[in-house]
């Protein structure tokens, strides 16, 4: 069952719930007018081509409020860029791994059911590469500008901090200090009802999530401001060093020493600020660096492995295949 999505959402309303092998095509997910390009093929595959199998629900609950819930496995490697309209996304990933690139910055979904928020203040290209066979269990809420154009004036005033996230720019952060958001998203992923009662339950959860998110934001934009100043500074400095040269980070112990702290403190600060483990972030940045070198240079794979911090090319190949669903040599045809 599918219907057009509301204005402002990149996603089409649809329910696919015919068992774990139910086919899901790209056109089931994205509206036809949403531009997307594939980076691993000379021309984009057809939008009616099957890209995943499993359960997938995307439903508009009221104007400007759309929920997403899925338990699926990718049937193809997706390496693509799509243009997302202005919106706010709140989501939690309960199983699987996911990362994406926005405005030149690589973001890694924290996983483990930790809530995250991504806010786009304008139409924004989003790039991501996920391997065939990757499984996702996640739930989320999409808030578009139309949501804020309803209700009494005092309600709009109460939502001003949330609405400010739609100002021009790109904002993203994990919210490990928001267990209430995690709980609501977990319930959205496990709706125990069917039919109209299920829709009512989802809408109540979605509105509760909006209220909780507004309370969490308070008078500040999302970010690591709730951390002690030293912890936030450590996390920011560590991320900057990793982003600048992921291959030059030999170990968390050495990085902690260079930053004047101990390994345990650094790991905790990084996870609290960015919602992802330090090791996982270094690995992701190294593999993204390797992918860029494979595509943009003619260097031997062994040299690329070494430049990305791998002493053994076999380890690089294994990690690359696990992350992107294909060996490094496949990037070069």
pLDDT of 218 reads: 73
Asked whether residue 233 falls in the same domain as residue 180, the answer is no
Tell me, yes or no, whether 266 and 193 share the same domain. Answer: no
Q: What is the pLDDT of residue 231?
A: 80
Tens-binned pLDDT, residue by residue, of the chain (333 aa): 445 445 679 999 999 999 889 999 999 999 988 888 877 654 556 678 889 999 999 999 999 999 999 999 999 888 888 889 999 999 999 988 788 888 777 777 777 888 999 999 999 999 888 888 888 999 999 999 999 988 777 777 788 889 999 998 888 888 877 889 999 999 999 999 999 999 999 999 999 999 999 988 874 544 444 445 568 888 888 898 898 889 888 888 888 877 878 888 888 888 888 888 898 899 999 999 999 899 889 999 999 999 999 989 999 999 998 888 889 998 886
Last residue of a domain, one of 181, 199, 222: 222
Question: Shortest CA distance to 61 belongs to which of 69, 73, 51?
Answer: 69
**Whether the Cβ atoms of residue 29 and residue 23 lie closer than 8 Å to each other:** no
Q: Does residue 230 share a domain with residue 174?
A: no
Domain end among 176, 191, 222: 222
pLDDT reported for residue 222 = 46
Give residues with Cβ within 8 angstroms of 42, minimum separation 6: none
Q: What is the pLDDT of residue 86?
A: 93
Same domain? For 155 and 276 the reply is: no
Position 221 scores a pLDDT of: 47
Dump pLDDT digits (tens) for 202-214. Answer: 999 999 999 999 9
CATH number at residue 211: 2.60.120.10
Instruction: Please give the Cα distance from 249 to 246 (Å, whole number).
Output: 6
* 3 state SS of 29: helix
Residues whose CB is less than 8 angstroms from the CB of residue 102 and which lie 6 or more positions away in sequence, other chains included:
118, 120, 124, 125, 126, 127, 170, 172
Number of compact structural domains in the chain: 2
18 Cβ neighbours under 8 A, 6+ residues apart: none
Residues 259, 273, single domain; the answer is yes
Of 222, 256, 278, which residue constitutes the final position of a domain? 222
Looking at the fold, whether 310 and 198 belong to one and the same domain comes out as: no
Residue carrying the six token digits 């997302």 = 84
| Domain shared by 76 and 160, yes or no | yes
What is the pTM (predicted TM-score) of this model?
0.71
pLDDT score recorded for residue 132: 84
Q: Are residues 243 and 149 in the same domain?
A: no
> Same domain for 55 and 141?
yes
The answer to whether residues 209 and 256 belong to one domain is no
Statement to judge: residues 256 and 209 lie in one domain: no
* CATH number, residue 305: 1.10.10.60
Tell me, yes or no, whether 131 and 210 share the same domain. Answer: yes
Contact yes or no for 7/144 (Cβ under 8 A): yes
Please report the pLDDT score of residue 219 as a whole number. Answer: 42
State the residue range of the domain holding 327.
225-332
Q: Are strands 115-120 and 87-95 parallel, antiparallel or unpaired?
A: antiparallel
Q: What's the Cα-to-Cα distance from 297 to each of 79, 285, 294, rounded to whole Å? A: 19, 18, 6
Q: What does the DSSP 8-state code read for residue 6? A: P
Q: Copy the structure tokens of residue 74.
A: 């990718």
């Amino acid at each position: 069952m599918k219907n057009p999505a509301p204005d402002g959402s990149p996603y089409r309303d649809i329910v696919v719930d015919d068992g774990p092998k139910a086919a899901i095509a790209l056109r089931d997910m994205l509206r036809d007018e949403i531009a997307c390009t594939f980076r691993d093929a000379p021309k984009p595959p057809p939008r009616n081509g099957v890209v995943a199998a499993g359960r997938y629900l995307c439903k508009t609950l009221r104007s400007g409020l759309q929920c997403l819930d899925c338990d699926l496995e990718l049937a193809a490697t997706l390496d693509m860029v799509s243009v997302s309209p202005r919106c706010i996304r709140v989501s939690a990933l309960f199983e699987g791994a996911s990362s994406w690139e926005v405005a030149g910055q690589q973001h890694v979904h924290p996983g483990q059911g930790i809530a995250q928020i991504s806010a786009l203040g304008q139409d924004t290209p989003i790039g991501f590469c996920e391997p065939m066979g990757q499984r996702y269990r996640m739930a989320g809420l999409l808030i578009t500008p139309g949501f804020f154009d309803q209700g009494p004036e005092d309600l709009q005033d109460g939502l001003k901090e949330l609405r400010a996230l739609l100002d021009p720019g790109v904002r993203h952060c994990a919210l490990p200090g928001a267990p209430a958001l995690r709980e609501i998203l977990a319930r959205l992923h496990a709706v125990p009802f069917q039919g109209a009662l299920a829709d009512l339950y989802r809408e109540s959860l979605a509105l509760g999530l909006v209220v909780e998110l507004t309370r969490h934001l308070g008078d500040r934009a999302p970010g690591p401001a709730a951390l002690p100043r030293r912890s936030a500074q450590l996390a920011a400095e560590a991320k900057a060093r990793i982003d600048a040269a992921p291959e030059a980070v030999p170990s968390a112990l050495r990085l902690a020493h260079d930053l004047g702290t101990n390994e345990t403190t650094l790991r905790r600060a990084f996870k609290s600020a960015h919602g992802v483990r330090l090791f996982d972030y270094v690995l992701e940045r190294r593999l993204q660096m390797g992918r860029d070198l494979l595509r943009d240079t003619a260097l031997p794979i062994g040299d690329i492995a070494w430049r990305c911090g791998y002493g053994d090319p076999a380890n690089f190949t294994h990690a690359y295949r696990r992350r992107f669903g294909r060996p490094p040599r496949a990037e070069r045809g």
